[in-house]
Amino acid sequence: MNCKHVWNYISEYIDGSIDDELRAQIESHLEHCEICSAILDSTRNILYLTADNRTFALPVGFSERLRARLEEEMAKSTDSP
């Protein structure tokens, strides 16, 4: 499990539609990775802002923008685990 793996599953992780084994792996990564923890927090905030009472939907282009942002963070933080 590395940062990119976590990012691939982050929406499923937040949504809860992920299996227990994968969730455990992501949580153990989050414990030692500040980048992914920060990304998880900000992604959650965005989702709470955009979700209505009943449906869970990402705005158009959200995942592309998130992915681009993550690539930027990854490039800046090559000295981190």
Interface contacts to Zn ion, rule CB under 5 A: 3, 33, 35-36
Q: Is residue 30 a contact partner of residue 37, using CB atoms and an 8 Å limit?
A: yes
Looking at the Cβ atoms of 51 and 72, the one nearer to Zn ion is: 72
Q: What is d(CA 59, CA 20) in angstroms, rounded to the nearest whole number?
A: 27
Nearest distance in Å: CB 54, Zn ion:
32
Nearest distance in Å: CB 44, Zn ion:
16
Q: What is d(CA 39, CA 74) in angstroms, rounded to the nearest whole number?
A: 11
Nearest distance in Å: CB 57, Zn ion:
26
Of the candidates 45, 32, 36, the one whose C-alpha atom is nearest the C-alpha of residue 69 is 36
Looking at the Cβ atoms of 17 and 80, the one nearer to Zn ion is: 80
**Which amino acid is it at 73?**
E
Looking at the Cβ atoms of 59 and 81, the one nearer to Zn ion is: 81
